[in-house]
Each structure stands twice: as structure tokens, then as C-alpha cells.
Amino acid sequence: MRHAPSRPSAALRTLVLTGTLALSLSACTGPSPTGPDASPTPRAASSATPEATATAAPAPDLVSRPLTVDCGDLIGADGLSSYYPSLALVPADDAAGDESRDGEALEIVAEADGTICTWQDADGATITVGVARFDGESLDELANELVATSNSVPTYGVEGYFDTPGGVGTAEAFSSPAFVVARSTTFLEPGDAEPVVSAVVNVLQTID
């Protein structure tokens, strides 16, 4: 007589199903990602806080006193005749368009209520001279600027500089308390301006 096979109990079936389900879930589910934390990490405050752009202290205003000199007395034309034949004073209105009367140095003279004069030689070349009077600190300010931007000239007898801004030879000299500017297209090198600068400096030394 054959016996029917015994069937597992309900409790055993439940245990098997639970174990199978657990294995299935563990096979389908991978380990948790270990990448960077998705939440943003606040940046540490930069220790090098940008500083405000340094601004150079403005240069002090130049301090001047009006300097009025008769153009006929400012330059000894007779003494320069060997360099510039028939040197003659040109009225300001007639010389207004001459390029020797332009330039930053002469603007400084004009703003200081100085004197600006132009002469013309027999060949038609013009020479413009400007003189202004400043206090010692202002003269130092002007000279320091030229140290960096122009060329020192030791032959003027005083502190002097020469350059050719705009293609026009320009000599600048300091005979305290005067600031002297001489400009001409005939000034191709420092020595060309030396007779004019020396003549003006000699005159200014007699003016208080």
C-alpha cells in the first residue's frame, strides 16, 4: 500500500519563501554609492580679500605767482645773432598758429600767469620761450616729473631737460624761482637750445 508524500507544513513554506525573497532583493540591490556627498559644502571664506584698487594721491596744486617780463628784455637777441640771424619778436597774434607755441610745458606756464614770447629768425624759424614763477615745492614737483619722462641736460648751467614732444625740440630748465621753457623746430638736440636757455636764465637772475 502506497503512502502519499507528506507536504511541508505551512510554517516551513513561509520560511522558505521569506528566505528566497530576501536573497532576490539582495541580488537586485547594489551597495549604496560612496561618491561625494550631493549636498554642497560651503566654501571657506577667502583669506585674501580683494583690496580696493590703490589710488595714487593727487599731486599737489602748483603754487605760482604771476611773472610778467617784457619780451624785449627776456632774451638778448643781439647775443644770439650768431645762432639765429636777424632774430625778431613776433606779435602774439601773428604767432598764434606756430607749433612752437604748443605743448604741455607752455600750458603750465600759461596757467601760472607766466610770460610767453615768440621770435623769428631770418630763415623763418620760430623760437618760443615761456617763463613762470613757482614756489620751491612746485618746482620740485615739475622737476621730478621730468626725471621720469625727459632727458637730463647738464650743460644748461641749471637743472635742465630736453625732449622732442610732437617733434618739436623742447628744453625745460629750473632757475629758482623760475621755470623756463624753450621750444623750436630748430632744436634737434639739447645743444641747439643751450644759447636760448642760457640767455633767458641770465636775464631771470636779475629779476626778483
Nearest to 129 by CA among 92, 88, 101: 101
Q: Is residue 155 part of a domain?
A: yes
- Cα separation, 167 vs 158, whole angstroms: 24
Q: Is residue 80 part of a domain?
A: yes
pLDDT (0 to 100) of residue 205: 85
Q: Is residue 98 part of a domain?
A: yes
Domain extent, residue 137, equals 64-204
The domain that contains 89 carries what CATH number? 3.40.1000
The three cell numbers of residue 162 are: 630736453
What number of residues does the chain have? 208
Is residue 21 predicted with pLDDT exceeding 90? no
Q: Total structural domains in the chain?
A: 1
pLDDT (0 to 100) of residue 143: 96
- What sign does the dihedral 206-203-194-140 (CA atoms) show? positive
Q: Is residue 100 part of a domain?
A: yes
Q: Is residue 108 part of a domain?
A: yes
Single-letter amino acid, residue 66? P
- Cα separation, 12 vs 60, whole angstroms: 103
Q: Is residue 178 part of a domain?
A: yes
Q: Which DSSP category does 206 fall into?
A: T
Summarised one tens digit per residue, pLDDT across range 151-162 is 999 999 999 999
By percentage, how much of the chain surpasses pLDDT 70? 70
Summarised one tens digit per residue, pLDDT across range 180-197 is 999 999 999 999 999 999
Burial degree of 33 (CB within 10 A; 0-12, 13-18, 19+): exposed
Summarised one tens digit per residue, pLDDT across range 54-63 is 433 344 589 9
Summarised one tens digit per residue, pLDDT across range 71-126 is 988 887 677 888 888 888 988 777 767 788 899 999 999 999 999 999 998 888 99
Q: What is the pTM of this model?
A: 0.69
- Cα 105 vs. chain centroid, distance in angstroms? 17
Q: Is residue 18 part of a domain?
A: no
Average pLDDT over residues 130-147: 96
CB 69 within 8 A of CB 112: no
Is residue 168 predicted with pLDDT exceeding 70? yes
| CA-based R_g, the chain, Å | 45
Summarised one tens digit per residue, pLDDT across range 86-95 is 888 988 777 7
Q: Return the number of other C-beta atoms located less than 10 Å from residue 65's C-beta.
A: 12
